[in-house]
Amino acid sequence: MKPPECTICDKRFLAGGGLVYFSETPEDKKQNEKLKQKGMVGHPPNAFWFCDEHIASAQKLAELTKIEALELLKKKYNT
């Protein structure tokens, strides 16, 4: 897993915030299946960390793919 660092503002945090899982693309689905295999480790390709300030906005877009959601979030927060 990646350490908790907000995808929008790069803020590192230990409390608050959390992971948002966006809808899987076909590529994400393949990678997530690989991660389920015994001995495999890694961060899900469709999961992103968000701090307290940005998590609610990200959660509202969870039904979108990561590409769609991150594009909208970056526009919203001018990043």
Global pTM?
0.92
Q: Which of the residues in the chain have pLDDT under 50?
A: none
Which residues 6+ apart lie within 8 Å of 13 measured at CB?
A: 4, 5, 6, 51, 52
| Residue spans per domain, the chain | 1-33+52-79
The predicted structure's pLDDT at residue 2:
87
Distances (CA, A) of 25 to 21, 29, 66, 69: 12, 6, 8, 12
